Chain A
Amino acid sequence: DGGITQSPKYLFRKEGQNVTLSCEQNLNHDAMYWYRQDPGQGLRLIYYSQIVNDFQKGDIAEGYSVSREKKESFPLTVTSAQKNPTAFYLCASSIYAGMETQYFGPGTRLLVL
């Protein structure tokens, strides 16, 4: 069953805590992306990776970090430097960077305690 998965579905963060959101795909896609979605808003690009061991900042990278050690995995860490982390986080992948269609995971909702 091919697809892109995200976990957990809900995540709670305490003040000053780093949390990591998981994103895994078995589609053999080279490119992966992290987006943030606020209520009633579109998606804003946080980070993207065109290939293993490479990633680039998107429009709103401050307070976030990523790694791409394996082709199928692209975890996102929300650091304590991100002062307003409450949002819906979406991971996506595409066959390669520049391949237009992106495939999305189900999302992780991050809430601050």
Chain B
Amino acid sequence: SQQGEEDPQALSIQEGENATMNCSYKTSINNLQWYRQNSGRGLVHLILIRSNEREKHSGRLRVTLDTSKKSSSLLITASRAADTASYFCATDLGGGSQGNLIFGKGTKLSVKP
């Protein structure tokens, strides 16, 4: 069942620019997470934001959550070539979902040196 949808599907920027990715979801959530996946590799957890939080920072990452619009955004500031990867949002519905995450299809970010 599809819950999160990232937008855009692909994003190409120059090194030093900021990258913004969005995630929309359909049902109420317990929390929302962002993961990064380098090509052909496993996912790496970046940041988690709970349903009662509006904004969270971690290094060059800034995540916002708007539960009224059922959307989240991930901002990467001062991007580097090493940020080139796919980024996925994952929602945790809580309650009877037993902690299972539902992943979106991802945004493919390309940062050109």
Contacts and interface: CB of A to CB of B under 8 A. Distances in A.
Interface of A: 4, 6, 31, 33, 35, 40-45, 48, 50, 56, 58-59, 88, 90, 92, 94, 96-107, 109
A44 B40 CA distance: 16
* A-B pairs, 8 with minimum CB distance: A98-B99, A104-B42, A42-B103, A43-B103, A104-B43, A42-B105, A97-B99, A106-B42
**B interface, over-half SS:** loop
27 contacts: A4-B42, A33-B100, A40-B105, A42-B2, A43-B88, A43-B103, A45-B101, A48-B98, A50-B98, A56-B98, A59-B1, A90-B43, A92-B43, A97-B98, A98-B99, A99-B99, A100-B30, A100-B31, A100-B99, A102-B45, A103-B45, A104-B35, A104-B42, A104-B43, A104-B44, A107-B41, A109-B40
B11 interface: no
Task: Tell me what chain A mostly uses at the interface: helix, strand, loop, or mixed.
Answer: strand
A42 B106 contact: yes
A42 B104 contact: yes
Nearest to B2: A42
A69 to B, nearest CB: 21
A104 B103 CA distance: 14
B67 to A, nearest CB: 16
Interface of B: 1-2, 4, 30-31, 33, 35, 40-45, 48, 88, 92, 98-101, 103-106
Nearest to B43: A104
B76 to A, nearest CB: 19
Contacts of A42: 2, 4, 88, 103-106
Among A44, A58, A88, A102, which residue has the most Cβ atoms of chain B within 10 A? A102
